Amino acid sequence: RSPIMRRALILYTTRLDLLKRARERTAQRFANIDTYAHEGDVPEFDRYVHEKQTEDEFENFDQRVEHAFQKAWATNKAEIWNAHKRSVREGTLTKGLTPQVLTSISSKLDDRKSWLREVWAQVDSDYRSGDETRVASAMQAIQQAHANEGNEYMEWAYHKKYDMRFMGPKERAETEAELKSANFPDISEDEVNRYMNRRISMNDLEETITEKFGRAGRAHWEILQQAKDDEYRE
Tens of pLDDT, residues 52-86? 656 555 556 778 888 888 888 888 888 888 777 77
Amino acid residing at 75:
T
| CA angle (207, 178, 196) in 5-degree steps | 50
Q: Is the dihedral of CA 20, 103, 111, 113 positive or negative?
A: negative
Amino acid residing at 160:
K
Contact criterion met (CB below 8 Å) for 36 and 95:
no
- Considering only residues 74 and 219, tell me which one the structure prediction assigns the higher pLDDT: 74
State the pLDDT at residue 25. Answer: 65
Neighbours of 69 (CB within 10 A): 23
Instruction: Look at phi and psi of residue 122 and say left if phi exceeds 0, alpha if psi is from -120 to 50, else beta.
Output: alpha
Label residue 206 by pLDDT band (50, 70, 90). Answer: low
Contact criterion met (CB below 8 Å) for 92 and 191:
no
Contact criterion met (CB below 8 Å) for 168 and 225:
yes
DSSP one-letter code for 150? P
- Residue 155: enclosing H or E segment and its boundaries? helix 152-163
Contact criterion met (CB below 8 Å) for 68 and 146:
yes
- Considering only residues 64 and 218, tell me which one the structure prediction assigns the higher pLDDT: 64
Distances in whole angstroms, Cα of residue 232 to Cα of each of 18, 161, 174, 210, 215: 46, 18, 11, 25, 26
- Considering only residues 129 and 13, tell me which one the structure prediction assigns the higher pLDDT: 129
pLDDT reading at 110 higher than 70: yes
Residue 69's nearest CA partner among 83, 80, 55, 82 is 55
State the pLDDT at residue 79. Answer: 81
How far apart, in whole angstroms, are the C-alpha atoms of residue 157 and residue 28?
39
State the pLDDT at residue 221. Answer: 66
Question: pTM value?
Answer: 0.54
How far apart, in whole angstroms, are the C-alpha atoms of residue 23 and residue 30?
11
**Domain-by-domain residue ranges, the chain?**
1-30, 62-162
Cβ contacts of residue 120 below 8 Å, gap of 6+?
58, 61, 65, 68, 69, 72
pLDDT reading at 124 higher than 80: yes
pLDDT reading at 101 higher than 70: yes
